[in-house]
A and B are shown apart, each in its own frame.
Chain A
Amino acid sequence: MIPLIEQALPVLVQGFWVTLRIGLFAILFGSLLGLGAALMRLSSHRSVSWLAFAYSTVFRGTPLLIQLFLLYYGIGTLEAVRHHAALWWLFSDGARCAVLAIALNSGAYMSEAIRGGLQSVPDGQLDAARAFGMSRFQAFRRVHFPLAIRQAFPAYSNELVLAIKGTSLASTIAVMELTGFARRLMSQSFLIVETFVVAGLLYLAINITLLGCAWLVEHLLLRTHAADGSGVKEAF
């Protein structure tokens, strides 16, 4: 146990922070992408909704590892990207590329969860809001989105765990995060099970904290009091 604590723990904790940073950025951008794609799916323009459908189908139908390699080794080595300052900033760095790939991947899954929520709101509610004199944006902000997010939240919070697990692939494009350091420790020492246990507990800690936060959001911010209608008031 002593060599484990002396050698492995500081290294793994260092990787933990990298994992956390990549994961949180990926979740942030992925959620925005997911919301955008879900709204596009419900657009009355055929081409717009088809584009969002194609995005979510392609990214959900192929492995994250392929997407990551395609971005980092494929697009990242194109001449046009190398000579474009902003694109080169994004694609030259493994961590930024990993954030992009995981955000694109989990955005595709999140868009399905959010779309389900948006579609669960009865048309009559939206018609009523419009008839009430709300603009389309007001109706979305005050009625459609608050009702939809309650429905979508359980499925959405599952995607948070998948996004955190996805960060482990960043180690394959030379970003040393938790799994990368764990792999190095496993291949160099005999502390294989011990390394797995510590790294696993660190992942478990991130996931349980995230799910706990999601639970709090669901039960405190999104609470509904169906009986007295005060939940509806809160939404306004």
Chain B
Amino acid sequence: MHPSLIDILGAGWGGMLLRGAGMTVFISLCGISLGMAIGVAGATLKTRGNILVRGSVAVYTLIVRSVPELLIIYLLFFGTVGLASGAADWLEWDDLTSTVFPVLVGILAIALISGSYSVEVFRGAFKAIDPGQIEAARAVGMNRSQCLRRITLPQLFWYALPGANNVWQAALKDTALISLVGLVELMRAAVLGAAATRAPLLLYALAGALYFIIGACSQALFALAERRLGPGMRRAER
């Protein structure tokens, strides 16, 4: 009566889940790249800006962090779905709202959410860089952009690495929520598979295992990055 694991994989759901996992990784990578940009910008504004600028960064992080991720995704989706169907009519591109639009909403949502957490990560990283180094670099005649490129950014990346790992792991899991506005990623593939095969336990367990594997592999990559970058940074610290 119940289909076995082999039946499900044979019916093509294994491939469907893997394609979904590919979409999950794609959305996470795009979202977190934008989120990191928001984080660096937010951290810069929060340390250098006037009280109004600092206040607005603080309000952004407070709101995005204390409101459920799902509510933010619904705001982005329902707030722009009218615009998207208008654009679909204008471009005569019928499946715009079902294909490209959820991807954009997903990337934007992950960017906003991970951005709010990475502001603090990068603020800590900025603080960890000794201001004396910047003064020294300016004193030897580097201009501001050289100083940023040669002194600040390389170290910023290193100091932000552990925090960025946490933000990435959270972003990866948050992508599952975008399935609720129609994006076919890993979670949505599992829901479709569960409905078609009537084996929800197996499909959701498989999808859960895939999320776990993606998370564990990226954890290993972060550990590798810390080890590879570590010795050089420690030598420089001495």
Contact = CB atoms under 8 A, between A and B. Distances in A.
B71 A172 contact: no
Given A70-B205, A186-B78, A64 B173 contact: yes
A73 B71 contact: no
Contact of B67 (A66, A75, A204): A204
Given A61-B212, A204-B63, A66 B71 contact: no
Contacts of A208: 66
B226 to A, nearest CB: 19
A38 B106 CA distance: 35
A182 B74 contact: yes
Interface in B47-79: 62-63, 65-71, 74-75, 78-79
Given A58-B212, A63-B187, A172-B180, A200 B201 contact: no
A78 B174 CA distance: 28
A69 B65 CA distance: 24
A185 B71 CA distance: 12
A169 B70 contact: yes
Contacts of A64: 173, 176
Contacts of B191: 69
A61 B68 contact: no
Interface residues of A, number: 38
B66 A183 contact: no
A36 B214 CA distance: 28
A183 B177 CA distance: 13
A44 interface: no
A183 B81 CA distance: 13
A204 B173 contact: no
Contacts of A183: 74, 78
B148 interface: no
B67 A193 contact: no
Binding site secondary structure of chain B = helix
B66 A168 contact: no
B71 to A, nearest CB: 5
A168 B68 contact: yes
A61 B173 CA distance: 8
Given A63-B175, A186-B78, A203-B71, 11 more contacts: A61-B212, A61-B216, A66-B176, A69-B190, A69-B200, A73-B204, A78-B201, A165-B69, A193-B79, A196-B71, A204-B63
Interface of B: 62-63, 65-71, 74-75, 78-79, 173-177, 179-180, 187, 190-191, 194, 200-201, 204-205, 207-208, 211-212, 215-216
15 contacts: A61-B212, A62-B212, A63-B173, A65-B177, A65-B187, A66-B187, A69-B191, A69-B194, A74-B204, A78-B201, A161-B65, A171-B70, A187-B78, A192-B78, A204-B67
Interface of A: 58, 61-67, 69-70, 73-75, 77-78, 161, 164-169, 171-172, 179, 182-183, 186-187, 192-193, 196, 199-200, 203-204, 207-208
